[in-house]
Structure formats: C-alpha cells, structure tokens
Structure 1
C-alpha cells in the first residue's frame, strides 16, 4: 500500500501569522498548482490515484484536491491543528510566556484554548485507521501538521521530533507499506 501526502502550497497570508484552521486561500491558482504537482508526481513515479483525493476541508487543501482529481473525499479530521485564540494573530504578538508554556508540554498544553497536539494526533490517526485499510494507494492534500503527525505515527518516532522536520509548501511525502512495515519512500520531494 502507498500513502501519498501533499502539503498544500503557499497561502495568501502574511508571513509570521498563526493560521492553523483559519481558512486562507492559496497564493496561486489551484489549477496551475495541480498541473505542476501532477508533472512532479509523474516524474517521481508516484502511483496513480484511483479512488479520489482525500483532503482537509480548508480551501487551501480542498481546492487543490478537486483540481487534482475531481470529486474529493473531504474530511474534517484532516484539518490543521486548531490554535484557538491564536488563530489569525501574528506569532510575535502572542505573549511569549504562553508560547513557552506550550513548548514546555507540546503534547498536552493548550494555552491558546484550541487543541493539544495529543487531541490533534488522535483525530488524524483516527482518519488514517479508518481510511488506510487495504492495499489501494491513498492520496491526500493536507497541512504540515497532519503530514508530520502521520509520519511520526507510521515511523514510530516522537511527534515532537517529527514537528521539527522541514517540509516545504507543496511537498510530496510518500510512504509505502511492505510486509506490514511502513517505509518512507520520499520526504519533501
């Protein structure tokens, strides 16, 4: 089985803004982005999408998924982490003590009033457990947090570690299950 994850491309929001589940648009036209991604996937020999793209309901993912494959399987469990009161605010405008408290217990703290990393991971992994049950390739357009949480889950590494891994906008991440073991075929391709 193959799991292909694409992080949404750049968004039309100022740099340094916490936008988590804030519904912000893509910076470029989804049709053009889909064309470029399709060419990149072909060059990488990514398995074809036979069952439709899965996507977060946020426009930056759903619009691209629809352009990549028509009908998309939209699922709220694929939305980015909800940052509560921090949504839409510049990171440098948030009280540093609150950010430090969050960093001190990234797994469970929620000083913003939104989701903890543990809550976020629980819903993302529930999607995975329900969706990735057979040998068909699954294709997903999601957020950096979703991709990193799934990577940690599949590779058996700490989520705090995977959150630090660089992941470009529009990056392709490809996992393959071989004899029950998940292997990383591509990261940030």
Structure 2
C-alpha cells in the first residue's frame, strides 16, 4: 500500500502569520496547481489516484482535491492543528513566554487555548486508522505540514516533536509504502 501525502501549495497570507485552522485561500489558480501537481507526480512515478483524494476541509486543501478528483473525500480530522487565540496573529506578536511554555511541553501544553499536539495527533491518527490500516490500494491526501509530519512520525516510529522540525515545502510530497507490514519512506519533500 502507498500513502501519498501532499502539503497544500502556498497560501494568500503574509509570511510569519499563524494560520493553523484559519481558512485562507491558495495564492495561485487551483486548476494550474492541479496540472502542475499531476505532472510532478507523474515524473516521480507516484501511483495513480484511483479512489479520489482525501483532504482537509480548509479551502487551501479541499479546492485542490476537488480540482484533482470529482470524488474528493473531505474529512475534518485532516485539518491543521488549531492554535486557538494565536490564529491569524503574527508569530512575532505572540508573547515569547507563551511560545516557550508551549515548546517546553509541546505534547500537552496549550497556552493558546487550542489543541495540543496529543489532541491533534489523536484525530489525525483516528483518520489514518479508519482509512489506511486495512487497505491495499494507494491513498492520496492533501493536507497540512502538521498532518504530514504527525503521520510521518507515526509510520516511521519516531517522536512527533522530532518530526515537527522536518522541513516540508508548500506542495511538498511525502510518499510512504507499506511492505510486509513495515512502512518505508519513498520520498520526502519531493
């Protein structure tokens, strides 16, 4: 089984703004982005999507999934982490003591009042268990950097807080393959 995870393309919001579950649009035309993504996946020999794209309900993912497939599976469990009171604020405007408190216990702290990493990962992994555990055909997902990193940590058996540091570009592809019950990383940030 192949699991193809794609971070949404660049969004129309200023750099440096915390926008977790804030519903911001894509910066470029969704149909152009769909064509470029299809061409890139073809060049990388990514397995074809035969069962429709799975996507976050946030428009930066859902609109692209719908442009790629008439059978998009929109699921709220694939939304980015909710950052509570920090949503829509510039990161450099948030009290450093609050960010430090969050970083000191990222798994459980929630100084912003939104989700902590454990809550976020719980809903993402619930989607994974229901959608991917007993499946042989490829699954294609359009989601967010946090979702991709949480799933990568789970599949590779590493600490989530370590995977959160991995670079993942807008539109970056993370491709995993299950072979004899073990998950292998085929490509990261392709």
TM-score band by shorter chain is over 0.9
Structure 1 length normalisation: TM-score?
Answer: 0.99
Matched, 1:163 2:169: no
For residues 162-181 of structure 1, the aligned pairs below 5 Å read: 162-181=163-182
SS of the residue 1:123 aligns to: helix
SS of the residue 1:71 aligns to: coil
Distance (Å, rounded) in 2 between the aligned partners of 1:21 and 1:134: 29
Provide structure 2 residue ranges, at least 5 long, that are not aligned to the other structure. none
Distance (Å, rounded) in 2 between the aligned partners of 1:129 and 1:145: 17
Matched residue, 2:155: 154
Matched residue, 2:185: 184
How many residues align structurally? 189
For residues 35-114 of structure 1, the aligned pairs below 5 Å read: 35-114=35-114
Matched residue, 2:117: 117
Q: Deviations over 1:25-49 (max 9, x none)?
A: 0000111001000000000111000
Note the C-alpha offset of 1:182: 0.2
Matched residue, 1:138: 139
Note the C-alpha offset of 1:70: 1.7
SS of the residue 1:119 aligns to: helix
Q: Deviations over 1:127-154 (max 9, x none)?
A: 0000002101000000000000000000
Distance (Å, rounded) in 2 between the aligned partners of 1:81 and 1:35: 28
Q: What's the Cα RMSD here?
A: 0.4
Kept in 1, the 8 Å contact 2:51–2:71? The answer is: no
Note the C-alpha offset of 1:71: 2.1
Q: Deviations over 1:124-180 (max 9, x none)?
A: 000000000210100000000000000000000000100000000001110000000
Q: 22-31 vs 66-75, which deviates more?
A: 66-75
Matched residue, 1:9: 9
Distance (Å, rounded) in 2 between the aligned partners of 1:63 and 1:165: 26
SS of the residue 1:177 aligns to: strand
Moved >3 Å (runs of 4+):
none
